[in-house]
Amino acid sequence: MYAFIFRPTVFEYSFFIRQLIKLYARSEPEGDDETDVPADLVHHFLLAITTRPGTGLCFHDRGWYPRTDETETFEGHETEFGDDVKDQPSSGGVHNKILRNFIKTLKIGEDLRQQEVLRKIFEACPELVQG
């Protein structure tokens, strides 16, 4: 009756991303078109899913400040985010665990594209800079 929804774990997402990172090694054009470089395609794909908060694998965070509960009640009204009500720090920890694991696997000394991905991730998720 109900369809099963596959929801990958942090470990599975990390595995998928590590497989994508391997495509950075393929920097020669494939096919007749000079723009069909797998490394460039995976680079733009990773930029799209890792550097836009609220899209893909990049979740909204509060930067250097501790997280608040996702939903809080204030005078009987429930809000989605704790930004506009009194802030109650939650248990802490990194909100973007998948990205934290991802940046550990980047080879920023070998590829300028990977340096760009790391820089843009840090701009989008400042909480990862301290970790």
Q: Where are the domains of the chain?
A: 10-61+96-128
Residues 6+ apart with CB under 8 A from 60: 53, 54, 81, 95
How far, in Å, CA of 24 to CA of 38, rounded?
7
pTM, two decimals, is 0.69
Q: By percentage, how much of the chain surpasses pLDDT 70?
A: 72
Confidence of residue 84 (pLDDT cuts 50, 70, 90): very low
pLDDT at 87: 43
Distances (CA, A) of 91 to 33, 34, 73, 94: 51, 50, 18, 10
As a whole number, mean pLDDT of residues 28-55 equals 89
Determine the average pLDDT of the residues in 17-36: 87
Alpha-carbon distances of 128 from 42, 51, 80, 96, 122, rounded to whole Å: 22, 12, 23, 8, 6
The mean pLDDT of 74-89, rounded to a whole number, is 42
